[in-house]
């Protein structure tokens, strides 16, 4: 998926969470900002991605060591993000942690909807993808996914 699709996915995941668990987010700005950041962080393994272009040395290094859609698109990565954010002692730490986890999680789910899939159980080198998938960057595929996410977003914003 493209970066903008991932941003919409992270925002949608955050809105759905807040809708399903009202009153649990005390710092909405931090929550939504980190959900958006989390939605693009996994593509640090791709030098031409939205985040990879901003951190080229880090991106190329991670890409060389792990490859694309492996470590940063896995349950192990989610666990590490959780463990690192558990160490935060600042105000809004829970909002930061939850936003990042929702954003990263939405990214992994969306990339599992591509023919390549993701190495969800990294370091096991098995690709996981959803039964229905779309080609990354295809006009029809990205448009359908974006409209579906947008529909969910509107539904949960106004329900």
Contact 69, 117 (CB under 8 A): yes
Write down the mean pLDDT value for the chain: 95
Local structure of 128: helix, strand or coil: strand
Tokens 């390549």 -> residue: 116
User: What is the reported pLDDT for 150?
Assistant: 93
Write out the two tokens for 13. 């995941």
What's the rounded Cα separation, in Å, for the pair 59 and 42? 10
φ/ψ bin of 46: left (φ > 0), alpha (ψ from -120 to 50), beta (otherwise):
beta
What's the rounded Cα separation, in Å, for the pair 14 and 20? 10
Contact 95, 30 (CB under 8 A): yes
Per the model's pLDDT, the better-predicted residue between 61 and 138 turns out to be 61
For the four alpha carbons of 144, 151, 119 and 72, in that order, the dihedral sign comes to: positive
pLDDT tens sequence across 84-139: 999 999 999 999 999 999 999 999 999 999 999 999 999 999 999 999 999 887 88
For the four alpha carbons of 62, 66, 68 and 70, in that order, the dihedral sign comes to: negative
Residue 151 pLDDT grade (very low, low, confident, very high; cuts 50, 70, 90): very high
User: What is the reported pLDDT for 60?
Assistant: 96
pLDDT at 51 over 90: yes
User: What is the reported pLDDT for 136?
Assistant: 80
Taking the whole predicted model, whether its pTM rises above 0.75 is answered as yes
């Amino acid at each position: 998926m493209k970066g903008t699709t991932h941003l919409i996915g992270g925002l949608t995941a955050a809105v759905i969470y807040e809708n399903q668990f009202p009153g649990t987010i005390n710092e909405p700005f931090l929550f939504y900002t980190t959900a958006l950041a989390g939605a693009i962080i996994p593509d640090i393994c791709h030098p031409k991605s939205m985040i990879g272009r901003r951190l080229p040395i880090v991106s190329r290094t991670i890409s060389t060591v792990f490859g694309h859609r492996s470590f940063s698109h896995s349950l192990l990565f989610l666990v590490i993000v959780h463990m690192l954010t558990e160490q935060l002692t600042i105000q809004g730490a829970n909002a930061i942690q939850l936003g990042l986890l929702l954003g990263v999680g939405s990214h992994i789910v969306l990339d599992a909807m591509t023919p390549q899939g993701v190495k969800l159980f990294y370091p096991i080198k098995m690709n996981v993808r959803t039964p229905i998938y779309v080609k990354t960057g295809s006009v029809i595929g990205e448009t359908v996914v974006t409209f579906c996410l947008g529909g969910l977003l509107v539904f949960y914003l106004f329900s």
